[in-house]
Amino acid sequence: MIALRLAEIAAAVGGELRLPDTGATAQDRVDGPVTTDSRELVAGGVFVAKRGEFDDGHRFVPAAVDAGAALLIVEEGQPVDVPQIVVDDSVDALGRLATEVVARVRALGRLRIVGVTGSNGKTTTKNLLRTVLERVGETVAARKSFNNEVGAPITMLELTESTEFLVAEMGASGVGEIARLIRMARPDVGIVLKVGLAHAGEFGGIEQTVRAKSEMVTELLDTDVAVLNADDPRVAPMAELTRARVVRFGLGDAADVRASGIRVHARGTEFTVTVPGGESATVAFGVLGEHHIMNALAAIAAARELGVPLADIVSALESVTLAEHGRMEVLGGRDDITVINDAYNASPDSMSAALKTLAQVKRDGARTFAVLGEMSELGEFSGDEHDRIGLLAVRLGISQLVVVGSGARRLHISAINEGSWDGESAFVETQDEAFELVTAQARPGDTILVKSSNSAGLRHLGDRLGEWFS
């Protein structure tokens, strides 16, 4: 975090500064990192005691003090000899502090901000943009999927006075949440990737999901740029909702940044990208899965708007071989057996895309395994969407479907009803059972996909299979 006086922080968050009887003053400066996790605190850092659904951060104040916290932001005063600011709502205070820091760095005239949202692909696109932009200047981007009312401001607070680019991943589980994040750090470039059924249960329906994601573009100014998915029928109309200049990406003729000549293989994807003005380049993209091309196109469009030459963008993208641990991560190798661990998260769109990729990379004469778990947070759509994935697996000719856990059982039943009645679909309750089944049946040359929502925990099964076949 940029250096701020204790009095300045208290004013920014609207809290009461309480100083210990140790000689500390309101003019003392703090510039350490900000965290809500006492285990991550470093000496000189700021600890924000957040109340959660299952725990209370105030319980960990002693641990934060022992770790060398220079400041506490709390909702009730603590009996410790460390400066503390008492606020009504610590999460709100965290957002207020992020807003202040972003504004101060903005005022220096160097910082450019990219906001990324969508039902799928946020983390991958953010990582691709970070790889491109950090070659140009100091870049801050979210760790993991820090994209909510806590994670996003913590990322913003990593800014320094020399930061040139902030890539802010902006997620939401309800209307108004993206708008709130944008008020903390209004993007110069706002990206909307896709609007699908991911988290539709939390939003209360697809219409509410569209409304929430469109906040990315309705909040932009006429001097900003909206980067929109031209191929998504829910995203493309957002061009009518924004004052910003619109740049479209996709595979169709309506796209300004367009991919063609796509070739998918077991170790990545190749395509030709064409940008406004007719310039084109071939991209040897090491991230597996045709669906990740859309994320790459979004990153290309945004980076060009920030002044990065196409050749430099392509060079950076070609250096990326993994979007994120557990996202189309290629493992294995023994006996030419490939394990694709894509169980970081799952939605109907990403599940479909992963299955299609599995079918595309199948080796001649070999088999494909799809080890699938539950897609969570789908609400009323859950049953129908698990049915649809079961049907798709059969229609794509997946050799062996392994469904793990009761939450995904309907997927297995739908596959059987579609025609997988001779053991092509198996249901197991536990990851151990799935591991034993796959390791017993896999043969040289086979390809194994592991896919589920993060809550189902199959990412650990994917790692375990990858290590077994390494």
Write out the binding residues: 118-124
| CA torsion angle 255 260 266 268 (round to 10) | -60
CB atoms within 10 A of CB 132: 27
Q: Let me know: does 262 contact 268? Beta carbons within 8 Å.
A: no
Cβ-based neighbours of 110, under 8 Å, separated by 6 or more? 162, 163, 164
Q: Is 299 helix (H, G, I), strand (E, B) or coil?
A: helix
User: Which parts are annotated binding residues for ATP?
Assistant: 118-124
97 with 184: CB under 8 angstroms? no
* C-alpha torsion sign, points 7, 10, 14, 15: negative
**Distances from the Cα of 318 to the Cα of 10, 98, 246, 286, 357, angstroms:** 45, 33, 26, 6, 19
Q: Burial level of 174, CB count in 10 A (0-12/13-18/19+)?
A: middle
8 Å CB contact between 359 and 439: no
First CA to last CA distance, the chain: 41
